[in-house]
Each structure stands twice: as C-alpha cells, then as structure tokens.
Amino acid sequence: MNRLAFLKNERVHFLTGVVIAFIGIFLLLAIISFFFTGAADQSKVLNLSFFELVRSDNADVDNWTGAGGAFLAEIMVNDWFGIFSAMIPLFLILIGLRIMKVSDLSFMKALFITAFGLISGSIASAFILGNLFPTSHINWGGAHGTAIEQLLENSIGWPGVVLLILLFLVTLIVILRKSSIYAIQKGLANSKPSLYQEKPEEESPVEEEFSEPLTAKQPGVLRRLFGRLKRKLASDPGGDQENHSLDGMSHENNEDPTVPLTFTEEPKMHQSPLQA
C-alpha cells in the first residue's frame, strides 16, 4: 500500500516528468549540435567506444553536450532514423510535460505521430537528401531509411518512391488537420478539366415564341352580324318570335361556322283603319 501511495504522489509525478523532459532536451541539443560539429567528432566517436571516449583525457569533442552527447547523436542520426531521429527527444519532452500535467496531448496520438514520422521521414530524407548530398557526414535517412529506400527503389522504381512519399505527406496532413480534407477536395474540384465543366444553357427559340403575350381574339364576322340583328329586333315589340328563331339559328351556326346562313324577313301585316 505504501508503494502504491508513493507512485500516486503528485510530487513524484511532477519530478518524473521533469527528469524525462530534461533527458529529451539534452538529446535534442546533442542532435542539433551534431549537424554542425559531427564532421569533426566523427573520427573520434567511431574509433572509440562510449566508455573509452568518456575516460579519455585527449578526447576533444566539439559537440555542445560533450562526449556522451556526441556518441548518442552519432548512433541516433547515422545508425537509426537520420535527421528525423530528432522526433524521439521531442516525444520525450511531450511525455514529460504530460506527466507534469502541463500538456493535455494524448499519449497514443503523440506515439502514433512519432512512429509515423520516424518511418516515413527517414525514407523520404534518404531518397531526397541522400541523392542531393551524398558525401555529407550525415546519413540523412539513417540506417533504417537507407535500407528501406533501396529496397523500395529496386522493387517499384523511383516514380513509385515519389508517389509513396506524397502519400505519406497527404496522410500526415490529414491526421494533423481535419479541415485539410475539404481543402484538398476543393482544390481537386477546381482543377477539373474544362471538358467536364457544365455549359450554360442556351435559350431555345421555341420558348421565346411562346413567351410572347397573347392578344385577345376578335369575334368573327357572323357573330358580329347576329349581334346587330338581335339589337335591331329587340327594339321591335313584335319581333320576339324572330328573336328566338335567330337565337336558334345562331346556336346552330356556332356549331358549324362553315354553313352560310340564309333567312328571309317576313312581311309585316298592317291593319287598315276600316278593319280596325
């Protein structure tokens, strides 16, 4: 119980985080110094073991972190993952801050990003920087990146290696920023060939003809003629019967407008004064 209480102590957690963070800072300084002083220290580091290098009085090391830092940097950079080995001390710093409860970064997320960066970054740096600076004292991809890059180049060729590096880059961007998915989709949509672009719709002449306003249709000649006769006979009190007959004729004529109308006006009977 006392041991468990000791491990749960807040001071123990804080001091453990401080130690891990300081180890990460020390390794990061050693790697950064190796990029500038590694060429001068390489002959001393490769010819002596770690204990011999530390105990030697004549070992004049230019690395900022001394003989121990020069030895560790040589192993981590040239024998492990190249320049991307700097992600290891960065991971230790983040874990130390996490234990100190200074950072809330997820441990699994930090571990995944570090592992992915070590593998993909060492391959990419071995392919790109290894071909640009082949005589440098820095093994840009480390032993891991150089071996994997040679295997991939022999199996899928340099175009396949380039595509694989681009795949690594896109995957890393999508993991770090979710909004980059929409930016990539928008960029691909805007770069669509003009062959697939929608053409503006052209107005058809048929639609223009039907879009003209319709004018009121004038009544026919026969309809106007019957209208006049109705008004004339309506003024005569004795012409009701003719009115009805004309209405019937007009209805029949409306059913078949091609049939000509013929009618005769009946003579009116005038009474003489003697008969009255």
pLDDT tens by residue, 173-224: 888 887 888 888 888 888 765 555 555 555 555 444 445 455 555 566 667 7
pLDDT: which is higher, 109 or 3: 109
Q: With 50 as the cut, is the pLDDT of residue 21 above it?
A: yes
State whether 145 and 80 are in the same domain.
Answer: yes
* In a domain? residue 36: yes
Enter the pTM of the model: 0.65
Q: With 80 as the cut, is the pLDDT of residue 88 above it?
A: yes
* In a domain? residue 235: yes
Among candidate residues 189, 204, 232, the one where a domain is terminated: 189
Residue 137 near residue 39, CB atoms below 8 Å: yes
Q: With 50 as the cut, is the pLDDT of residue 261 above it?
A: no
State whether 24 and 127 are in the same domain.
Answer: yes
- When divided into structural domains, the chain yields a total of 2
* In a domain? residue 17: yes
State whether 245 and 121 are in the same domain.
Answer: no
State whether 147 and 72 are in the same domain.
Answer: yes
Query: Where does the pLDDT of residue 238 fall: very low under 50, low under 70, confident under 90, or very high at 90 and above?
Result: low
State whether 144 and 64 are in the same domain.
Answer: yes
The pLDDT assigned to 6 comes to 66
Distance separating alpha carbons of residues 31 and 123, to the nearest angstrom:
19
* In a domain? residue 29: yes
State whether 245 and 118 are in the same domain.
Answer: no
pLDDT: which is higher, 57 or 250: 57
Q: Which of 89-98, 170-179, 221-230, 246-255 has the highest mean pLDDT?
A: 89-98
Q: Render pLDDT for 119-168 as a digit per residue (tens, 0 to 9).
A: 999 999 999 999 999 889 999 999 999 999 999 999 999 999 999 999 99
State whether 56 and 166 are in the same domain.
Answer: yes
Residue 138 near residue 82, CB atoms below 8 Å: yes
Query: Where does the pLDDT of residue 116 fall: very low under 50, low under 70, confident under 90, or very high at 90 and above?
Result: very high
State whether 67 and 179 are in the same domain.
Answer: yes
Residue 229 near residue 205, CB atoms below 8 Å: no
State whether 92 and 156 are in the same domain.
Answer: yes
State whether 158 and 248 are in the same domain.
Answer: no
Nearest of 136, 175, 127 to residue 154 by alpha carbon: 127
State whether 114 and 246 are in the same domain.
Answer: no
pLDDT: which is higher, 46 or 217: 46
State whether 166 and 36 are in the same domain.
Answer: yes
Q: For 31-50, what is the mean pLDDT?
A: 89
The pLDDT assigned to 10 comes to 85
Residue ranges making up the domain that contains 235: 223-255
Distance separating alpha carbons of residues 85 and 77, to the nearest angstrom:
6
